[in-house]
Amino acid sequence: MGWVATLAGRLPVPSVQTVAQSVIRRLNEAEESHAAAGTRINIPSLFADSIRDACATVFDTARHDHSLMGMGSTVTALMMYGSVAWIGHVGDSRAYLIRDGAIHQLTEDHSLVQEQVSAGLITPEQAKNSLIRNIITRSIGFEREVKVDTGAIPIYRGDHFLLCSDGLTGHVEDHEILDVVENTPRRNVPTRLIEMANSRGGDDNCTVTLTTVTGRRGRQREKRRRGKRG
């Protein structure tokens, strides 16, 4: 499993740890129920519920300690289960898939500027310089309940999943992320990307994780067959 979270303000409650512990507990319970009664394991539901557990914990902590009012977090989480990568997402951190020389953004930012882009009111380039680009529309802890985006991606050997906070994407372009992932030893990728963001201002928390599919977990890609020439 891989996890990333950006933390805003004073946040004594480890959101990422809460999500991870909840996923493990819920998944164990689901697998036991499946083994005993054949019930279906609903990964999207238990993943979303685990992220909502973190949201409720942060909200309740702030409610009982008024000095912590306003604290919050974004969470973008990745879980490998079988030959599928599951994504859970709240906020404006991001998950990317790097596959076959291309980079794909798997999550959509929960932010005011993204809503404007989606509505066609501004362009993606204008969004990068918007004065409201840091205003998010969903977060962990702002309310006790939160809507969680989930998604599934079949995984193949050689896939790279990069999770990061907006401290990276605010300063480093997608094509630059792709270049670093493809031309840097894997263990050095997070450090290299964080250094790039910091050298360009580094005005926000910058968190980066990289997960690469190796061994038997991922499916093997089929070679494309050449068509016969007529």
Domain boundaries, the chain: 2-212
Query: For each of the chain's 230 residues, which pLDDT tens digit applies?
Result: 444 444 443 444 467 788 888 999 999 999 999 999 999 999 999 999 999 998 998 888 878 877 777 777 889 999 999 899 999 999 999 999 999 999 999 999 999 999 998 999 998 888 888 888 888 899 888 889 999 999 999 999 999 999 999 999 989 999 999 999 999 999 999 999 999 999 998 777 888 999 999 876 556 666 544 444 44
Quote the pLDDT of residue 8: 40
β-strands 102-105, 72-81 pairing: unpaired
**C-alpha distances in angstroms, 122 versus 76, 128, 134, 138?**
25, 10, 16, 20
Distance from C-alpha of 38 to C-alpha of 128, rounded to nearest angstrom? 49
Residue 184: HSE in the Cβ half-sphere, 13 Å Cα cutoff: 16
Q: Which residues pair with 11 in a beta bridge?
A: none
Angle between helices 43-64 and 15-37 (to 10 degrees): 140
Kindly state the greatest CA–CA separation across the chain. Answer: 76
Quote the pLDDT of residue 151: 95
Distance from C-alpha of 139 to C-alpha of 151, rounded to nearest angstrom? 18
Quote the pLDDT of residue 142: 85
Q: Answer whether 74's CB lies under 8 Å from 165's CB.
A: yes
Quote the pLDDT of residue 222: 60
**C-alpha distances in angstroms, 215 versus 157, 158, 159, 184, 211?**
7, 9, 11, 20, 13
Quote the pLDDT of residue 72: 78
- Summary count for the chain: helices (H), strands (E): 7, 8
Tell how far CA 104 is from the center of its chain.
13
Q: In the CATH scheme, what is the code of domain 2-212?
A: 3.60.40.10
Q: Hey, which bits of the chain come out as E strands?
A: 2-8, 72-81, 84-90, 94-99, 102-105, 149-154, 160-164, 208-212
Residues 6+ apart with CB under 8 A from 149: 87, 88, 89, 90, 107, 108, 110
